[in-house]
Amino acid sequence: MDNEKYIKRLFLLNLITMIGVLVIAGILLVAAVQVLPKATKLLDTAQTTLDNLEAVSEDLNETIDNIDKSTGQAMSDVSTAMEKINSLDVETLNKSIEDLHGAVEGFTSIFRR
C-alpha cells in the first residue's frame, strides 16, 4: 500500500511538473510569436538607417573632396595674384602716375582758356 501511495504521489508530481513545463512552453511560444515580428521590423529599420548613413557618409566624403580641390585651386590663384602684385614696379608706376598727372594738367589748362 505504501508503495502504491508513493507511486500516486510521484505521478501527481510528474503531472504538475509536466503541466508547468507546458505552461512555460506556451508562454514562451506566445512571447516569441509577438516579439519576432517586432524584432524583424526593428532590424529592418536599423538596416535602412545604416544604408542611409552609408549614403550620407559617401556624400560627405565627396563634399570634402570638392572642398579640398576648391581650396587648393583658391590657394593657387592667391599665390599667382601675390606673384603678380609682387612683380609690380612701384617706382615706375608712381612715375607713370606723375607723368599722367602732368599731362592731364596740361589738357586742363588748354580747356580752361
14-34 in b/e form (b: 16+ CB < 10 A) is eeeeeeeeeeeeeeeeeeeee
Rounded Cα–Cα distance for residues 74 and 82 (Å): 12
State which residues form the domain around 93.
2-112
Determine the pLDDT at residue 105.
79
Higher pLDDT, 2 or 56: 56
Q: How many domains does the chain have?
A: 1
Q: What is the pTM of this model?
A: 0.48
Question: Which of 22-26, 28-32, 73-77 is predicted most confidently?
Answer: 22-26
Going by pLDDT thresholds of 50, 70 and 90, the confidence category of residue 13 is: very high
pLDDT in tens, 39-64: 999 999 999 999 999 999 999 999 99
- Residue count of the chain: 113
Residue 33 phi/psi, 5° resolution?
A: -65, -35
Residue found under cell 570638392:
66
pLDDT higher than 70, residue 113: no
| 8-state DSSP, 95 | H
